Chain A
Amino acid sequence: MAALVRISSVCHRGVKPLLLRSTTLARPLAGLIKDHDRSCVITAKIHATPSNYAGSGSKAASLHWTSERVLSIILLGMAPVAYYYPGPAIDYSLAAALTLHGHWGLGQVLTDYVHGDLKIKLANASLFVLSAFTFAGLCYFNYSDVGICKAVALLWSK
């Protein structure tokens, strides 16, 4: 950060004499904006984020981050609901929320540890298959068996 401030201040100092002359003569506003833009460009260059989402120019990354947090909070809220109002509604909600939370969490682990284009693709594809089977299995358990809430209650009653 300190280095950044230094670089941008150097940039300002280096450019100013030229721009100041032009500002006194012609277009002050344009000159100032140019100067500002330039330091911004340098800042952006240094701050290039090594992320899968970088360069897409979208809000996908921050939207994903926010969704993860929202889901975590929803999952926290589901615990008391599952305890006080067990039933199919919360069973299927848990199946979906637990699967998605696990899918995103494991996806983050893969992002951290798996490198190489092909390996990343393979890992993500495998994770998708695993999550799909997990969700299907949990739904099947809710449909044809006792359901998640009852399963935990039975396990704990032994």
Chain B
Amino acid sequence: MALLLRTVARQGLYSSRSQFGVLYRHAVPMGTTAKEEMNKFWAKNTRLNRPMSPHLTIYRWSIPMMMSITHRGTGVGLSAGISAFAIAALVLPGDYPQYLDMIHSWSFGPALITATKFALAFPVAYHTYNGIRHLIWDVGKGFKIPEVYRSGYVVIALSVLTSVALAAI
């Protein structure tokens, strides 16, 4: 009887092991499987002519969402500005103070100069403060929805105050 039980149990174990083997075989090339799944998903989306996700039109716009895309927007914008500046430095003849004097000689008036300074300072200030907000999230703090809103308002207020102050210099 014991022998019979043992044989049955062994067989059960073997069958479960073979099942385990099947699962394991599927699980090992995990990245490939996920990639294949993703490719299938995108192929289907293209075939059915589905709109690109995220479907912006179906969402009610919220402050954190707008702040998130603004963070990305300011990041891309600042990066583009830095690249344009660097390539201009490589390509353009003449040096920086010369161009600065040239722009200054056009005498735009103090209002436009202050506005330009604000337009330059705001993305830097916003991306910096919101970057700090992201770093705080990265250590796992401030994820409750009221906290997300509160930190968002703090970032907006600080960004506006800082860039107004910088523009006024």
A15 to B95, CA, bound (A): 76
Count, A-B residue pairs, CB within 8 A? 144
A138 to chain B minimum Cβ distance, whole angstroms, is 5
Q: Is B5 part of the binding interface, using a Cβ–Cβ cutoff of 8 Å?
A: yes
- On whether the beta carbons of A55 and B23 are closer than 8 Å, the reply is no
Which of A15, A115, A146 makes the CB contact (< 8 A) with B16?
Answer: A15
Binds A, one of B27-35, B55-63, B140-148, B149-157: B27-35
Instruction: With CB as the reference atom, state the residue of chain B lying closest to A15.
Output: B16
Known interface pairs A50-B35, A76-B131. Does A154 touch B100 (Cβ–Cβ under 8 Å)? yes
Known interface pairs A25-B5, A55-B29, A137-B85. Does A146 touch B79 (Cβ–Cβ under 8 Å)? no
A76 to B127, CA, bound (A): 11
B22 to chain A minimum Cβ distance, whole angstroms, is 10
Known interface pairs A31-B13, A102-B82. Does A54 touch B89 (Cβ–Cβ under 8 Å)? no
Chain B contact residue count (CB 8 A cutoff): 54
Query: CB-CB < 8 A to A59: which residues of B?
Result: none
Which of A21, A41, A115 makes the CB contact (< 8 A) with B42?
Answer: A115
A92 to chain B minimum Cβ distance, whole angstroms, is 13
- Residues of B69-84 at the interface with A, using a CB-CB cut-off of 8 Å, are 72, 75-76, 78-79, 82-83
- On whether the beta carbons of B13 and A146 are closer than 8 Å, the reply is no
- On whether the beta carbons of B13 and A154 are closer than 8 Å, the reply is no
Q: Is B111 part of the binding interface, using a Cβ–Cβ cutoff of 8 Å?
A: no
Instruction: With CB as the reference atom, state the residue of chain B lying closest to A138.
Output: B86
Instruction: With CB as the reference atom, state the residue of chain B lying closest to A23.
Output: B9
A127 to chain B minimum Cβ distance, whole angstroms, is 10
A144 to B86, CA, bound (A): 12
Question: Contact residues of B with A, CB < 8 Å?
Answer: 2, 5-6, 8-10, 12-13, 16-17, 20, 23-24, 26-27, 29-35, 37-38, 42, 72, 75-76, 78-79, 82-83, 85-90, 95-97, 100, 103-104, 113, 117, 120, 128, 131-132, 135, 138, 166, 169
Interface residues on A, range: 35 or more
Q: Is A156 part of the binding interface, using a Cβ–Cβ cutoff of 8 Å?
A: yes
- On whether the beta carbons of B89 and A140 are closer than 8 Å, the reply is yes
- On whether the beta carbons of A138 and B89 are closer than 8 Å, the reply is yes
- On whether the beta carbons of B82 and A134 are closer than 8 Å, the reply is yes
Query: CB-CB < 8 A to A55: which residues of B?
Result: 29-32, 34-35
Query: CB-CB < 8 A to B113: which residues of A?
Result: 158
Known interface pairs A37-B20, A138-B82, A156-B169. Does A25 touch B42 (Cβ–Cβ under 8 Å)? no
Q: Is A118 part of the binding interface, using a Cβ–Cβ cutoff of 8 Å?
A: no
A56 to B31, CA, bound (A): 7
Other A-B contacts than A102-B79, A156-B166, 7 sampled, CB-CB below 8 A, are A19-B16, A26-B9, A54-B30, A55-B34, A115-B42, A137-B89, A156-B169
